[in-house]
Structure 1
Amino acid sequence: MFIHHMVGMFHHPKEEWGSIHKERYSIAHVFMAQISILAAIPAVCMFIGTTQIGWSLTGNDFVKLTVGSALSAAVAFYFACWVAVAFIAYSIHWMEKTYGGHVDMNECLILTTFTATPLFMSGLAGLYPMLWFNVLVGLAALCYSVYLLYVGVPVIMEIPEDRAFFFSSSILTVGLCTLVGMIVTSVLLWQTVVPLSYVS
Structure 2
Amino acid sequence: MFRHVPGLFYAPRRTWTHIHDDIERRPWAFLPLLLIGSLIPALSTWYGGTNVGWELFGSEDRRFLTSQSGALLGVAVWLAFVTNAVIMGYIVRWVLFRTPHRPPASHGIAFATFLSMPFMLGGLAALYPERWLLLPVFGLVGLFSVVQLYFGLPHFMRLAQDKAYFYGACIIGAGMLAMVSVGVFYMESWRAVSPPGEYQDVEERQLDPGLIP
- When normalised by structure 2's length, the TM-score is 0.85
| TM-aligned CA deviation for residue 51 of structure 1 | 0.5
Aligned residue for 2:210?
A: none
In 2: Cα distance, 1:101 partner to 1:132 partner = 43
**Partner deviation per Cα, 1:88-121 (whole Å, 9 max, x = no partner):** 1011112212244333222212211111110111
In 2: Cα distance, 1:5 partner to 1:121 partner = 14
Aligned residue for 1:22?
A: 21
Q: Which moved more, 1:46-55 or 1:171-180?
A: 171-180
Aligned-partner residue type, residue 56 of structure 1: E
| TM-aligned CA deviation for residue 57 of structure 1 | 4.9
Gaps of 5+ in 1: none
8 Å contact kept, 1:57–1:132: no
| TM-aligned CA deviation for residue 8 of structure 1 | 0.6
8 Å contact kept, 1:46–1:74: yes
SS of match in other structure, 1:64: strand
Aligned residue for 2:185?
A: 185
Percentage of identical aligned residues: 27
In 2: Cα distance, 1:183 partner to 1:102 partner = 28
Aligned-partner residue type, residue 48 of structure 1: Y
**Partner deviation per Cα, 1:11-50 (whole Å, 9 max, x = no partner):** 011111111111126454222x111111100000000011
**Partner deviation per Cα, 1:103-153 (whole Å, 9 max, x = no partner):** 322221221111111011100001001123111101100000000001101
CA, structure 1 residues 79+186, in 2 after alignment: closer, same or farther (shift >3 Å)?
A: closer
| TM-aligned CA deviation for residue 79 of structure 1 | 1.4
* RMSD between aligned residues: 2.0
Gaps of 5+ in 2: 205-213
Aligned residue for 2:209?
A: none
8 Å contact kept, 1:99–1:164: no
Aligned-partner residue type, residue 198 of structure 1: Y
Bigger CA radius of gyration: 2
In 2: Cα distance, 1:160 partner to 1:150 partner = 11
- When normalised by structure 1's length, the TM-score is 0.90
SS of match in other structure, 2:87: helix
SS of match in other structure, 2:198: coil
SS of match in other structure, 2:136: helix
Aligned-partner residue type, residue 53 of structure 2: G
User: By percentage of residues, which structure has more strand?
Assistant: 2
8 Å contact kept, 2:38–2:78: yes
CA, structure 1 residues 22+9, in 2 after alignment: closer, same or farther (shift >3 Å)?
A: same
Aligned residue for 2:105?
A: 105
In 1: Cα distance, 2:183 partner to 2:19 partner = 30
Q: For this pair of structures, how many residues does the alignment match?
A: 198
CA, structure 1 residues 137+179, in 2 after alignment: closer, same or farther (shift >3 Å)?
A: same
CA, structure 1 residues 135+181, in 2 after alignment: closer, same or farther (shift >3 Å)?
A: same
SS of match in other structure, 1:63: strand
Aligned residue for 1:133?
A: 133
8 Å contact kept, 1:122–1:138: yes
Q: Which moved more, 1:39-48 or 1:167-176?
A: 167-176
In 2: Cα distance, 1:55 partner to 1:145 partner = 27
